[in-house]
């Protein structure tokens, strides 16, 4: 699984004009992609990493300060644009594989005590955020 992690001061996801997920104040907005071979074990490892990653103010983690996370599925993280002018999505897991992994990631985070908001899997989403720093890191498990 891959994740682009952004430290934010608020973030939201809207679908068809409706806000479906929102965090207020400092937290993490995480774009998550899955590939064909990913497992629930990897989702659990990613959840633990996100919950304890010391990237908030004062080198704190979400677990240290109870900061919320906004998780947004993002199959395009496995896009490949090295050849030609049109990316391919061959490495991205199909929805029936990816959706349970993203849901599992959220469930693992919640089991750790995290407040988790989400986008809507497979929908055309608008993600609005204020990147704090700016601060963005790439994780792969």
| Active site amino acids | 74-76
Using CB atoms within 10 Å of the CB of residue 50, give its burial: 0 to 12 exposed, 13 to 18 middle, 19+ buried: buried
Cis preceding linkage at 134, omega within 30: yes
Helices (H), 24-116: 40-52, 62-65, 95-112
Give Cβ neighbours of residue 29 (< 8 Å, ≥ 6 apart): 5, 6, 8, 11, 23, 69, 70, 72, 127, 129
Contact 25, 9 (CB under 8 A): yes
- Of how many residues is the chain composed? 141
């Amino acid at each position: 699984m891959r994740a682009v992690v952004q430290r934010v001061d608020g973030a939201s996801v809207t679908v068809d004009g409706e806000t479906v997920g929102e965090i207020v104040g400092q937290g993490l907005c995480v774009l998550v992609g899955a590939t064909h071979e990913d497992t629930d074990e990897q989702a659990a490892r990613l959840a633990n990493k996100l919950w304890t990653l010391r990237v908030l103010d004062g080198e704190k983690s979400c677990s240290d300060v109870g900061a919320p996370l906004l998780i947004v599925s993002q199959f395009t993280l496995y896009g490949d644009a090295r050849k030609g002018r049109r990316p391919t999505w061959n490495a991205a897991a199909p929805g029936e594989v990816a959706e349970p992994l993203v849901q599992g990631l959220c469930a693992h985070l919640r089991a750790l005590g995290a407040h988790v908001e989400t986008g809507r899997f497979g929908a055309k989403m608008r993600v609005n955020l204020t990147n704090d720093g700016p601060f963005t890191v790439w994780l792969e498990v």
